[in-house]
Amino acid sequence: MTLLPQEIIRHKRDGGTLDPAHIEHFIEGLTGGRVTEGQAASFAMAIFFRGLSVPERVALTRAMMNSGTVLTWDLPGPVLDKHSTGGVGDTVSLALGPAVAACGGYVPMISGRGLGHTGGTLDKFDSIPGYVTQPDIDTFRRVTREVGCAIIGQTADLAPADKRLYAIRDVTATVESIDLITASILSKKLAAGLQGLVMDVKFGSGAFMDNAGDARKLAESLVLVANGAGLPTSALLTDMNESLASAAGNAVEMIYAVEYLTGRRREERFHTVTVELSAEMLLLGKLAASIEDAREKIEHAIASGKAAEVFQRMVTALGGPADFLEKHRTHLQAAPVVRAVHAERTGIVQKVAARAIGVAVVALGGGRTRPQDPIDHAVGLTELAAIGETVDASRPLAIVHARSEAAAEAAARAVRAAYTIGDGKAAPGPAILERIGATA
């Protein structure tokens, strides 16, 4: 078979297996402009319908990784990261990165902006005045080396082929392919020069994968391909049938993270997921002898305030206020309209349409309906009631933070519609359903 783009597409369209050389040549052409958008769309559609074998997925991931700069590190500890498939109130990265750094790991975390109904870690950090979310590579390296953790956005140098292919997939109905999702996520992580990666693969009403079976397939693909590409990786399947934190928004989640790190608030489900993901990272980086030892180290890093100290140093090193931990509410924008949303009847929360909670935050201005839309960092929802809680005149479903009365009223309607209230006892499922290791 020749290396012409159309012949590579034809071969995959007809169910053939692509050699690594075919995939590398196609991705080089995509990056260099020899492959057209139409050909890239056809390539993605052929993969969508025909699928890729594990060796093909590894080859595609490596080719996209090598399409730009691949970072290397010379540090006295392991280079580790965590990636979440996205959810509502997923504030974990804000606490996890500093906690792992406090235990001796180095966390160069390249995060994304909000996608659809899910919040973006980068948007949360953009709420901090002065914090530079897209520094140059030299600054990224320096902060990671000196602080142990740097949470930033993807630069143009890392995996540019992924950026181009994703933009094409986004408008050609090929986003949901597990093969393409796997290569997209891992190409960026491999380009960051990691030595260990933990995947937080979410399932439920607020996740992109609404059932555990689909989430498990994605997790297994990510673990197999990452390890096949030389990056030690494990995954946890975590529940997203309600907001993970009781806050959803940008500044409000930043406040939540600071209160968590400083010990003012420790919600059980959020804490469990944060500790377990962090502990997996310590195990991969050989910074703990067992999962029990890893949990103890992370618990100590958080309880002692060491993780909070790392967080403050990172904020300062990337341009944010030196007194952010102490005066975060002063530095963060606050919405002018704050009101409680009460249920229409007293009862117990039976179920939450978590995606609808995320959409309500987007509608308030806390997310984007178009890529060019600005973000209103002040708006969001706090004190979200959890499954199993009793809501009544003294316990609202949530507190809305809005720019106007009209926006607050619309959000209140959306929140009420998202909650199912009943009289019987209810309990959420386990925060973590399953661990998928390298042998999966």
Which pLDDT tens digit goes with each residue over 374-386? 889 999 999 999 9
Model pLDDT, residue 257: 98
- Condensed to tens digits (0 to 9), the pLDDT of residues 229-279 reads 899 999 999 999 999 999 999 999 999 999 999 999 999 999 999 999 999
Of 11, 169, 355, 401, which one is the catalytic site residue?
169
**Secondary structure of the chain in the HEC alphabet?**
CCCCHHHHHHHHHCCCCCCHHHHHHHHHHHHHCCCCHHHHHHHHHHHHHHCCCHHHHHHHHHHHHCCCCCCCCCCCCCEEEEEECCCCCCCHHHHHHHHHHHCCCEEEEEECCCECCECCHHHHHHCCCCCCCCCCHHHHHHHHHHHCEEEEECCCCCCHHHHHHHHHHHCCCCCCCHHHHHHHHHHHHHHCCCCEEEEEEEECCCCCECCHHHHHHHHHHHHHHHHHCCCCEEEEEEECCCCCCCCEECHHHHHHHHHHHCCCCCCHHHHHHHHHHHHHHHHHCCCCCCHHHHHHHHHHHHHCCHHHHHHHHHHHHCCCCCCHHHHHHHHCCCCCEEEEECCCCCEEEEEECHHHHHHHHHHHHHCCCCCCCCCCCCCEEECCCCCCCEECCCCCCEEEEECCHHHHHHHHHHHHHHEEEECCCCCCCCCEEEEECCCC
- Condensed to tens digits (0 to 9), the pLDDT of residues 214-238 reads 999 999 999 999 998 899 999 999 9
- With cut-offs at 50, 70 and 90, classify the pLDDT of residue 440: very low
Of 177, 184, 205, 246, which one is the catalytic site residue?
184
Q: Active site includes 84? A: yes
Of 42, 67, 93, 121, which one is the catalytic site residue?
121
Of 12, 189, 328, 377, which one is the catalytic site residue?
189
Mean pLDDT of 283-306: 98
Is it true that domain 80-327 has CATH number 1.10.10.10? no
Model pLDDT, residue 321: 98
Mean pLDDT of 41-68: 94
Q: Active site includes 81? A: yes
Mean pLDDT of 335-359: 96
Q: Active site includes 189? A: yes
Model pLDDT, residue 154: 72
Question: Residue 368 pLDDT more than 80?
Answer: no
Of 22, 188, 313, 355, which one is the catalytic site residue?
188
Question: What's the chain's average pLDDT?
Answer: 93
Model pLDDT, residue 1: 59
Mean pLDDT of 190-202: 95
Q: Active site includes 172? A: no
Of 12, 25, 62, 83, which one is the catalytic site residue?
83
Fold exhibited by the domain 337-422 = Aldehyde Oxidoreductase; domain 3 (3.90.1170)
Of 22, 25, 42, 81, which one is the catalytic site residue?
81
Model pLDDT, residue 2: 67
182 near 64, Cβ under 8 Å? no
Domain residue ranges in the chain? 5-51, 80-327, 337-422
- Condensed to tens digits (0 to 9), the pLDDT of residues 143-188 reads 999 999 999 987 778 889 988 898 788 778 887 789 998 999 899 8
Of 31, 84, 118, 174, which one is the catalytic site residue?
84
Q: Active site includes 351? A: no
Q: Active site includes 327? A: no
Model pLDDT, residue 355: 93
Q: Active site includes 188? A: yes
- With cut-offs at 50, 70 and 90, classify the pLDDT of residue 89: very high
Model pLDDT, residue 187: 93
Q: Active site includes 392? A: no
Q: Active site includes 342? A: no
Fold exhibited by the domain 5-51 = 1.20.970
- With cut-offs at 50, 70 and 90, classify the pLDDT of residue 372: low
